[in-house]
């Protein structure tokens, strides 16, 4: 059975974050990583990962007794997918409004400001 939307839920994003960091992991390893900062049951983690397999968010290696999961979607692609939706829905399509809100709500450190300035310079040079 193929699930229509492959957009990850908040809980699925937490699992993907573990898999992106570890590259691959068993359900137990994912569950242990999640349990460090949130209370969740092993069976819940297992069920979510099975759903994620159906949604093609993860792939599963079944060659060993313990199945090993890997992310099937990249962090970058997922970030772009969510960011695009957020810009459209929350900021009326304005990336400028998003950036101003982000920079206004949490101070950027010197290194971040240099990266932002460098990106601005690159964008200006392309025009």
**One domain for residues 92 and 44:** no
Residue 59 lies in a domain: yes
* pLDDT level of residue 7 (50, 70, 90 thresholds): confident
Query: Which residue is associated with the tokens 């229509």?
Result: 4
- Residues 82/8, Cβ–Cβ less than 8 Å: no
**One domain for residues 107 and 56:** no
Single residue among 71, 90, 107 that ends a domain in this structure: 71
Cα(122)–Cα(24) distance, rounded to whole angstroms? 35
What's 23's domain CATH number? 1.10.10.10
* Host H or E run for residue 45: helix 42-54
**One domain for residues 89 and 120:** yes
pLDDT in the model for residue 108: 87
In Å, how far from its chain's centre is CA 61? 21
Cα(17)–Cα(25) distance, rounded to whole angstroms? 11
DSSP label at 39? Answer: -
Lookup: tokens for 58 = 């993860």
**One domain for residues 25 and 57:** yes
Please, what is the angle between helix 10-22 and helix 42-54, to 10°?
90
Residue 22 lies in a domain: yes
Print burial letters for 71-84: b (CB count within 10 Å at least 16), e (below 16).
bbbeeeebeeeeee
Number of domains, the chain: 2
Cα(59)–Cα(91) distance, rounded to whole angstroms? 34
The domain in which residue 47 lies consists of 10-71
**One domain for residues 67 and 95:** no
Above 80 in pLDDT, residue 13? yes
- Rounded mean pLDDT of 24-35? 97
**One domain for residues 16 and 62:** yes
Predicted confidence (pLDDT) per residue in 42-99, tens digit = 999 999 999 999 999 999 999 888 899 999 999 999 999 899 999 999 999 999 999 8
**One domain for residues 14 and 35:** yes
């Amino acid at each position: 059975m193929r699930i229509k939307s492959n957009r990850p839920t908040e809980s699925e994003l937490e699992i993907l974050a573990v898999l992106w960091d570890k590259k691959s992991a068993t359900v137990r390893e994912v569950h242990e990583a999640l349990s460090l900062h949130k209370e969740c049951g092993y069976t819940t983690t297992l069920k979510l990962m099975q759903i994620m397999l159906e949604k093609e968010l993860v792939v599963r290696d079944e060659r060993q007794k313990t199945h090993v999961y890997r992310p099937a979607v990249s962090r970058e692609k997922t970030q772009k997918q969510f960011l695009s939706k957020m810009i459209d829905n929350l900021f009326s399509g304005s990336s400028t409004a998003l950036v101003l809100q982000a920079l206004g709500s949490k101070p950027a450190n010197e290194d971040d400001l240099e990266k932002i300035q460098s990106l601005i310079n690159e964008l200006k040079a392309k025009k």
